[in-house]
Chains A and B, each alone.
Chain A
Amino acid sequence: MKKILLIALLFVSGCEIDHGLGPLKSRITGKISFVNENFKPDNIDALRPIAVTKWDPENFSLSDIVIANTSVNMSKENPDYYIPAPLGSYELVAIVYRKKGQGWNYTQILGFYGFDPVTYTGESKIVTLSKTKPIAGEIDIVCDWTWAVGIK
């Protein structure tokens, strides 16, 4: 009987307790910079970073988006941002805006990772979070205020 108890005790002590969900270790972080500040509209209420797994501007689905729950601090010149995101590849990392009195519309993009404001060119760059590299840093995004007023 003692042997059985001892074996049971060893077995139990050797087991790891499964605690299920834990903190999300993977994330995308970076800095935001703004261009064309003089075009900044008064009716912009908030900015939020998003990461999109499959980016197709014609067929954009909510189920492909990871949305940060924290808005970007617009009063700073170069605010930091981060998106807690599961491991995987993201075809678009972007900042979206919301107009005062309106709801979020995730097609209202103010800037994305890969955009070059000098040459005014760029394609969205893929960001990958893997087990070996769960944090993608320096994913800096340039936002152009003219996009919010529909000039360009």
Chain B
Amino acid sequence: MIKNCYRIFFVLFITAAMLNAKVTVKISGTITEKTSGDALPGANVFIQDTFLGASSDENGFFEINGITPGNYVLRVSFMGFKPVRRQISISPDQDLVMNFELEETTILTEQIVITSSRQPENLASAAASISVLEKSDIQRRNSYKLDEALLSVPGVTLVGENINIRGGSGYNRLGGSRTLVLLDGIPILTSDLGAVNWNIIPVTEVEHMEVLKGAASSLYGSGAISGVVNILTKLPSKGHSLSFRQSSGLYDEPSVPEWKWTDKLRYFHRTDASYSNSIGPVGMRLAVSHHQSTGDRENGLLERWYYTGKLHWQLPDHSTLTLFSTYSQEDREFFLQWWEQDHALNVPPPERGNRYQLDGFVSYAVYHKLFSPTLSTKLRVSYNQQLVGIPINVANAFTPAIGLSGEVQINWKPHPNHSISAGVDYKRDQVESLYYGGREANGISPYIQEIWKLSELLQLNAGVRLDTYTLVGDSVEQQISPKIGASWQPIFGTIFHFSCGRAFRAATVVERFISAGSKDFKALPNPTLKPERSALFDLGVRQNIGERAFAEVTAFSADYENLIEPVLNIDLTAQFINFSRARIQGVETMFRWDVIPQYFRLLTTATWMDPRDIDRKEPLLYRPRFIGYFSPSLSFGAFSLEADYRYMSRLEKVAVFPLDERVPTKVWDIRLMYKWKNYKLQFDIRNALNYNYTVSERVLGEIRNYALTLSGDI
């Protein structure tokens, strides 16, 4: 079966590559920031009503190939900058060089996103609720884990290691993720647990992240039940580019003297380096990172390595071939829960020194072929191998879970007002463990999606996907996931958007078949688990307020059926079962204000939710009612002073230790930055008030720590 798939892909690759090119020209140039003259990497350059476009590299350079002579509108856009549109006239055999200077702004601007409809789309007019986290946001916060970087996105929070979009996930240590995570559009959930390995790629290799909220199975299938996070990696640069980040820091003493458990210094080092260059039509990018920490608690030792490589080949017929691989290895001690609340930074004595390894490898090849400015195709094959790093793997009872996938997608604009994406996804999972035996599964999923511009002010979206998932020798599941949406701009600066759809998540192999146990705990299988289903609806408005402020308010409602949650019985056996019905309704807000242009800015987000278990008439497990984020930033020439405040209300209901004291999360991070040419020196204080809260039951959040970071591009 696998061989046949590879053969089909190979034939398609060759066929596409053999098509002859027409007489075409290219447009190239640089995109810089108007006031400072700094390069703007990641800006989008697109030719309107076509699929022709590019993103700027590390040096702000862009190049669009394969343009046939004619008259076009060129659009340059970047989040946080005023867009530029230019009429251009292309003559045969005359390449164009065009440079652009973009001006900063806080109001809603044009930004190209690709996650909401699997084709380039303007964020401002997208029907779906989607947020973008730019590289500059990630860098400023000096994040070193991808899930932490997402905490400034409206409606997003972390409960334990589970990312929650509008409260969709809750907390489910061994259960599958209800947020689908993609790496450059490729699903990277593990094939056994259906979990996310957030450490698969270093944060420094991320160009930006797109967070699609709501039902997304109509585009991405199983797992996208409450949303999608698409991690988009950096492209190789045209010229030499060497980037580095060196961060070292110390953990403070705990604010509770009784919790002090060692006199030794607790510290961390994080080193990230990357090199990028192009030789002729081939661009390449290599990166290596090493993170090491003693941790702030007992069993806190951590050592992590990342190796990442990307090749981007501009083929003579204006098609492109991208090859990417990333490997990460983590060796760490494990802190499952505290010994007791009087020793909150210690593990129970029998667990001292428990450690495990986590390995992840993801590789893909993507071939893009542009047949004409309005017809393009994408062929992709990928390989995802993950060795789980959960505590029950102390006995090394797992082998790496392997996921193979492939995709053929066609994007077609039959008319300037219609844009269609259609394709087929294929996936194959292979997993093996002492706890659930050997399992194999295949999935094949055709989908189609259309964006229909009824006018410049009104746009409709519709899509549907059929997923067929076969667990070899066991069962066959079929799910149809439709979605519709619209956006309407009644006046300039005001855009209403709405979307509704259905989504699902198939039970993972672990949820259905795990049979494992220790002295204290035993997991029982439940082969009859049904898939979870959700129906989601959201309605919002994006509003520019004058020239210096922007707000977005979205109301949402999500109904869940057959939620898969673990239950813990009195004899300490646990099993995943289907809960019947749940509903999460709420309002999400975001407000950005340039209070004093270039000097003082504010960003604030707030989300209110009512997560209910409908049948039991009680709050849903592990969901907060309110999450908020507040971030003021001051700039004085080369200096900047910024703060982030994160708030999450107390979890109303938890499963394992409900009688334990629980408090809201209230964390201040403060940073001072100094920028000189291409270098930046940054001093961070995380958890500045040394506030104590739990990230999951009986696990404290990180205590106050200080970090000094030097980063730059050579």
- Chain A residues packing against B (C-beta within 8 Å): 17-24, 45, 53, 60-66, 68-70, 84-86, 88, 98, 101-107
Contacts and interface: CB of A to CB of B under 8 A. Distances in A.
A18 B339 contact: no
Interface of B: 255-256, 258-259, 339-342, 344, 348, 517-522, 568-573, 655-656, 658-661, 663, 666, 689-694, 700
A101 B572 CA distance: 14
6 contacts: A21-B692, A24-B341, A45-B519, A62-B568, A69-B348, A106-B572
Contact of A70 (B340, B568, B660, B692): B340
The 7 closest A-B pairs by CB, nearest first: A24-B341, A20-B692, A21-B692, A19-B255, A63-B658, A23-B342, A20-B691
Contacts of A60: 570
B348 A103 contact: no
Given A69-B339, A98-B519, A106-B570, A23 B659 contact: no
B299 to A, nearest CB: 15
B344 A21 contact: yes
A147 to B, nearest CB: 17
B interface, over-half SS: loop
B333 to A, nearest CB: 18
Contacts of A20: 663, 666, 691-693
Contacts of A23: 256, 258-259, 341-342, 344
User: Which of B348, B661, B666 has most A Cβ within 10 Å?
Assistant: B661
B519 A24 contact: no
B519 A21 contact: no
A53 B659 CA distance: 9
Contacts of A98: 519
Contact of B569 (A22, A62, A88, A101): A62
Contacts of B519: 45, 98, 101-104
A21 B570 contact: no
Contact of A18 (B340, B521, B572, B691): B691
A107 B255 contact: no
A105 B692 contact: no
Contacts of B259: 23
Contacts of B694: 21
A63 B255 CA distance: 30
B692 A103 contact: no
Contact of A21 (B339, B568, B658, B661): B661
Nearest to B698: A69
B255 A61 contact: no
Contacts of A84: 340-342
Contacts of B339: 69-70
Nearest to B654: A63
A84 B657 CA distance: 13
Given A69-B340, A70-B340, A21 B521 contact: no
Nearest to A22: B256
Contacts of B571: 103, 105, 107
A138 to B, nearest CB: 20
A61 B341 contact: no
B569 A21 contact: no
Contacts of B690: 19
B340 A24 contact: yes
B570 A107 contact: yes
A22 B257 CA distance: 10
A70 B346 CA distance: 13
Contacts of A24: 340-342, 661
Contact of B666 (A18, A22, A64, A88): A18
Contacts of A102: 519
Contacts of B663: 20-21
A58 B386 CA distance: 44
A108 to B, nearest CB: 9
A75 to B, nearest CB: 16
Nearest to B653: A63
Nearest to A82: B340
Residue of B517, B521, B663 with highest tally of chain A CB at under 10 A: B663
B258 to A, nearest CB: 5
Nearest to B656: A62
B666 A104 contact: no
B518 to A, nearest CB: 8
Contacts of B518: 103
Contacts of A101: 519
A66 B659 contact: yes
Nearest to A103: B572
A21 B700 contact: yes
Contacts of B520: 103-104
Most chain A CB within 10 A, of B519, B522, B700, is at B519
Nearest to B348: A69
Nearest to B255: A19
Contacts of B700: 21
Contacts of A88: 659
Nearest to B522: A103
A8 to B, nearest CB: 15
Nearest to B658: A63
A29 to B, nearest CB: 13
Nearest to A64: B659
Given A88-B659, A103-B519, 14 more contacts: A19-B690, A20-B663, A20-B666, A20-B692, A23-B344, A24-B340, A63-B659, A84-B340, A86-B660, A103-B521, A103-B571, A104-B572, A106-B572, A107-B571
Contacts of A21: 341, 344, 661, 663, 692-694, 700
A17 B689 contact: yes
B692 A22 contact: yes
Nearest to A88: B659
A47 to B, nearest CB: 14
Contacts of A103: 517-522, 571-573
Nearest to A84: B340
Nearest to B344: A21
